[in-house]
Amino acid sequence: MTRRKLLQAGAGLLAGRAGVGRLTASPPQGREFRPYTPPSPPKGRIIDIHVHPWFQDAKPPEAKFSERAWNSSRPDGDFQMNASWEQFQYDMGAVDKAVVLHVARDLGTKGNDEMAALAKRWPEKLVPFGSVNPTLPGALEEFQRGVKELGLKGFKLSPIYQKFDPMSAEAARIYSQAQEWGIPLIFHTATAQAPDVPLKWANPLLFDDVAYAFPRLKIIMAHFGHPWQRECTVMARKHPNVYIELSANFYRPFELYQALQLALGWGQTGKILLGTDWPVTTARETMAGLRGLNQFAKGGNPRIPDDVIEGIIHRDALQILEIDA
């Protein structure tokens, strides 16, 4: 074979191999993407983390209802304000544990004593949270007494009702102590009817500096921050120790449906905790309201996955907040 024929034969062999390579090579592509499927949330205890124990021991001769007005608490009806101890027990029967709390208009001593005594009355069901008014002298000492002497497991603060700037020096003393002792704080982050309350101190974004300055402080934003649910959601996304509590939302069902779709979009449904704001709502009402939200999943609107709804209902808030109860 001449050199030319040898080269031609070799070139043909290489061309054939190149052809085979072109047939089997992967097509060009950009960066890869791996879709994320959230795991199904575990089913834990049902915890109502927001209960106001406004009841009386004896059954009243007749029910007294919340006043109907242009700015009533619930647009769908009026709730009983003088429930009995028996009625309270029935409503708490729908949950495994309930956090009882109050908002201190004064120093908080009387209310803290009452929450501790109530939890001792029904220890297998109730978990006591206290409250102090940070603007008053002695607030830090009352906070310390509540934890060390009364066994309170958390505290509720309300800047709009107690009229303090969330980043005031007085409030920061409470945050610092709560962070050091691992005591969670529930904040009222929602609108209110009273004309004299400063709504600017209820917006969830005002707690961005609080969460940043006290990164180990466990913060629960009550009422899903309504009507600032979007701000509440991004706060939970930004800060590891910020959680959402959704009481007083289901009776505006389309708004709650939209809020949960927001939380889904931002990947934050796992940080939503169950609450009722009893007696404004009950656990049975709230759970039924959550399970009925997909009435709006029509005409192309997306469903809220059932395991997301059940995950909220069965999320053990006490375990998440590291409360031994």
pLDDT of residue 5: 60
For residue 321, give the nearest of 207, 155, 137, 177 by alpha carbon.
Answer: 155
- pLDDT at residue 143 above 80? yes
Could you list the residue range(s) of the whole structural domain that residue 66 is in?
47-320
pLDDT of residue 39: 82
Query: CATH number for the domain including 266?
Result: 3.20.20.140
* Residue 21 belongs to some domain of the structure: no
- pLDDT at residue 12 above 80? no
* Residue 205 belongs to some domain of the structure: yes
pLDDT of residue 40: 82
pLDDT in tens, 90-104: 999 999 999 999 999
* Residue 22 belongs to some domain of the structure: no
pLDDT in tens, 213-233: 999 999 999 999 999 999 999
Total-model pTM: 0.89
Number of neighbouring beta carbons within 10 Å of residue 25: 8
* Residue 4 belongs to some domain of the structure: no
Query: What does the alpha-carbon distance between residue 17 and residue 37 come to, in Å, rounded to a whole number?
Result: 42
Total structural domains within the chain: 1
Q: How confident is the model at residue 141 (pLDDT cuts 50, 70, 90)?
A: very high
- pLDDT at residue 185 above 60? yes
End-to-end CA distance of the chain: 93
Cis peptide upstream of residue 227 (ω within 30 degrees of 0): yes
pLDDT of residue 2: 60
pLDDT of residue 41: 81
Angle at 172 (CA atoms; ends 171, 173), nearest 5 degrees: 90
- pLDDT at residue 7 above 60? no
Query: What does the alpha-carbon distance between residue 76 and residue 274 come to, in Å, rounded to a whole number?
Result: 21
Cis peptide upstream of residue 279 (ω within 30 degrees of 0): yes
* Residue 17 belongs to some domain of the structure: no
Q: Chain-wide mean pLDDT for the chain? A: 92
* Residue 208 belongs to some domain of the structure: yes
* Residue 211 belongs to some domain of the structure: yes
pLDDT of residue 1: 55
pLDDT of residue 38: 81
* Residue 204 belongs to some domain of the structure: yes
Stretch (H or E) spanning 259: helix 253-265
Number of neighbouring beta carbons within 10 Å of residue 47: 27
pLDDT in tens, 13-44: 444 444 444 555 678 889 898 988 888 888 89
pLDDT of residue 85: 97
